[in-house]
């Protein structure tokens, strides 16, 4: 009987050690979302009459319940270099809020700018558009863990 208890204790200790030592880096939770108008903004840049596109992706922030990470990536501008202000607004359990992100690039894809949105847990709506408004807009209906 004592051998069985000792074997069970050793197995439990090995299981705990494997769980603690063998963990992977934090991954973001999948974010249930519906973007009815797509996730790409078509915009005119802030100079040189340049036109371009900006992709926006949303994901849940790892280890931060109620937060969403917005990844804003310019895909390039014709007649660049140019840039755009992207206004992101949201309505969630934390209330109505907004933030601005500035992206800049030439004819090739630019660097992704990531911003943390404190949306709150539950159902939320997020909208994005270039500022001043020059093209289409994007919106998401999401469930934030």
| CATH code of the domain containing 54 | 2.60.40.10
In a domain, 21, yes or no: no
Domain presence at residue 2: no
14 inside domain: no
Q: How many residues does the chain have?
A: 145
119 falls within a domain: yes
| Domain that residue 96 falls in | 28-144
Domain-embedded: residue 22? no
Cα separation, 42 vs 63, whole angstroms = 33
pLDDT tens readout for residues 87-119: 999 999 999 999 999 999 998 999 999 999 999
The pLDDT value recorded for residue 47 is 76
Whether 92 maps to a domain, the answer reads yes
Residue 19 has pLDDT above 50, yes or no: no
Whether residue 23 lies inside any domain: the answer is: no
Q: What is the pLDDT of residue 31?
A: 83
- The whole-chain average pLDDT of the chain stands at 84
């Amino acid at each position: 009987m004592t051998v069985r208890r000792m074997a069970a204790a050793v197995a439990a200790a090995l299981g705990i050690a494997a769980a603690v030592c063998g963990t992977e880096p934090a991954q973001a939770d999948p974010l249930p979302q519906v973007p009815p108008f797509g996730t790409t903004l078509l915009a005119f840049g802030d100079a040189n009459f340049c036109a371009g596109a900006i992709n926006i992706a949303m994901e849940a922030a790892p280890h931060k319940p109620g937060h969403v990470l917005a990844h804003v990536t310019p895909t390039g501008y014709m007649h660049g270099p140019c840039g755009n202000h992207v206004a992101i607004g949201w309505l969630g359990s934390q209330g109505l809020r907004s933030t601005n992100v500035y992206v800049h690039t030439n004819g090739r894809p630019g660097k992704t700018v990531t911003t943390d949105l404190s949306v709150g847990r539950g159902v939320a709506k997020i909208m994005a558009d270039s500022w001043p408004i020059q093209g289409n807009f994007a919106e998401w209906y999401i469930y934030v863990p």
